[in-house]
Amino acid sequence: MFRLKILNFSVLEILPALLDKSKTQIIRKSWKEWNLQDCMISENGVIPLEPRFKVGEEVKILWKNKSKFEWFCRYCGGGINAKIKTLYGEKVFETSGLHTCGKKPEIDINVVAEHFINKVPFQSDVFNKHLGNVKITEVFKIEVKYDKKKLEKLTINTEELRFKSWQEKVDWVEDLAKRDGFRDDQKIKVEHSGYMLSPNTATQKMFKTLDKMYDLKQAREFWVTRFKWK
Mean pLDDT of 90-106: 57
Per-residue pLDDT band at 7 (split at 50, 70, 90): very high
Residue 123 pLDDT > 50, yes or no?
no
Mean pLDDT of 123-129: 75
Decide the pairing of beta strands 220-229 and 25-29: antiparallel
In what helix (H) or strand (E) does residue 17 lie, and over which residues does it extend? helix 15-19
More reliable by pLDDT, 197 or 101: 101
**Which CA distances in Å does 78 have to 16, 103, 109, 112, 174?**
14, 10, 14, 16, 29
Decide the pairing of beta strands 71-73 and 220-229: unpaired
C-alpha dihedral over 109, 113, 119, 120, to 10 degrees?
-40
Closest CA to 173 of 189, 149, 154: 154
Per-residue pLDDT band at 132 (split at 50, 70, 90): very high
Residue 156 pLDDT > 80, yes or no?
no
Per-residue pLDDT band at 148 (split at 50, 70, 90): low
- Dist. CA 41–CA 31, nearest whole Å: 11
Average model confidence (pLDDT) for the chain? Answer: 77
- Dist. CA 204–CA 210, nearest whole Å: 10
Ranked by mean pLDDT, the top range of 6-20, 23-37, 77-91, 152-166 is 6-20
- The contacts of residue 121 (CB under 8 Å, 6+ apart) are 115
**Which CA distances in Å does 147 have to 107, 129, 197, 203, 217?**
42, 37, 12, 14, 6
Query: What predicted TM-score, i.e. pTM, was given to this entire model?
Result: 0.75
Q: What angle do CA 62, 94, 110 make, to 5 degrees?
A: 85
pLDDT digits (tens, 9 = 90+) for 11-45: 888 999 999 999 999 999 998 876 655 555 555 56
Exposure on the CB side of residue 112, measured as CA atoms within 13 A = 26
- Dist. CA 182–CA 168, nearest whole Å: 19
- Sign, CA dihedral 188-191-197-198, equals negative
Number of neighbouring beta carbons within 10 Å of residue 210 = 19
